[in-house]
Amino acid sequence: MKKIVLLGDSIRMGYDKYVKTALEGVAEVYYPSVNCKFTQNVLRMLGSWSREWPAEEIDLVHWNVGGWDLLHLDEAALSTPEYYGYMIGRIDRRLREIFPKAKIVFALTAHVDESGNTANHGRYNAEIEQYNQVAIDALKQNDTLINDLNTISKLAAERGAMSDRTHYSTDEGRRLLGGAVIRLICEELDIVPSEVDLETFEPENYTVEEIGS
């Protein structure tokens, strides 16, 4: 059995159990029971989260962070682009320290519906693409793979698969975003997933508060 860790914000929370179900029998899939939120939180909490898992034996870590960093609730995004890039590099190094055997995959920040933006709660797709490029550049020097969930989420949005202005917690959203995560993991670890029956599938029962907006 391969061993996989999924880290990330509410976008990860939308597909984590779907991925776990698809890999049943071929991989153990671990993820925190909470929203990983923004870069400071990820770097701060990684050590605690990883204590619950066999960190030294993990084969692959799939992570994302950024939706909270680029949220505007005042005069600017929570993290400046410079600090975001700096923290992405630090988190990546810390992941390699904690999960020494693992391949590392970073998923780009997903597309949002800007029509729900307000002065105190806004995300902008142009900035999402900017921050995604900042992350790609910060990870360039090592062999972190990039999972382009931004492109996939745009396709999902076109197909009406958004559950609100930020999330893709619909059958089609899980099929597309979760499917892309499963595909990349399986290619990298040379394993074969099972089909998940979305008619009967039940996602993790996260509270609305934990998911955030």
Q: Which is nearer to a copy of itself, 32 or 178 (CB)?
A: 32
> What token pair was written down for 165?
């202005």
Contacts with a copy of itself by CB under 8 A: the residue count is 25
Q: Which of residues 158-197 bind a copy of itself (CB under 8 A)?
A: none
Q: Which is nearer to a copy of itself, 45 or 145 (CB)?
A: 45
Among 57, 94, 154, 203, binds a copy of itself (CB under 8 A): 94
- Over the window 124 to 153, marking each residue x when it contacts a copy of itself by CB under 8 A and - when it does not, the resulting string is ------------------------------
78 binds a copy of itself (CB under 8 A): yes
90 binds a copy of itself (CB under 8 A): yes
Residue 115 C-beta: closest distance to a copy of itself, Å: 22
116 binds a copy of itself (CB under 8 A): no
Residue 142 C-beta: closest distance to a copy of itself, Å: 15
The residues, ordered by sequence, that sit 6+ positions from 155 with a Cβ below 8 Å of its Cβ are 176
Residue 132 C-beta: closest distance to a copy of itself, Å: 19
Which whole-number Å values give the CA distances from 64 to 97, 190, 195, in the listed order? 18, 22, 24
Q: Which is nearer to a copy of itself, 44 or 159 (CB)?
A: 44
- Over the window 38 to 77, marking each residue x when it contacts a copy of itself by CB under 8 A and - when it does not, the resulting string is xxxx-xx-xx--------------------x--x-xxxx-
201 binds a copy of itself (CB under 8 A): no
Which H or E element spans position 29?
Answer: strand 27-30
- CA diameter of the chain: 48
Q: Which of residues 6-25 bind a copy of itself (CB under 8 A)?
A: none
Question: What own/partner pairs with CB < 8 Å and gap ≥ 24 does 112-121 have?
Answer: 112/67, 112/165, 112/166, 113/157, 113/162, 113/165, 113/166, 114/165, 115/165, 116/164, 116/165, 117/165, 120/72, 120/73, 120/74, 121/71, 121/72, 121/73, 121/213
154 binds a copy of itself (CB under 8 A): no
Tell me which amino acid residue 127 is. E
Angle at 144 between CA 143 and CA 146, to 5 degrees: 130
Burial of 167 (0-12, 13-18, 19+ CB in 10 A): buried
Q: What CA–CA distance (Å, rounded) separates 35 from 41?
A: 10
Using CB under 8 A, list all residues that contact a copy of itself: 37-41, 43-44, 46-47, 68, 71, 73-76, 78-80, 83, 86, 90, 93-94, 97, 120
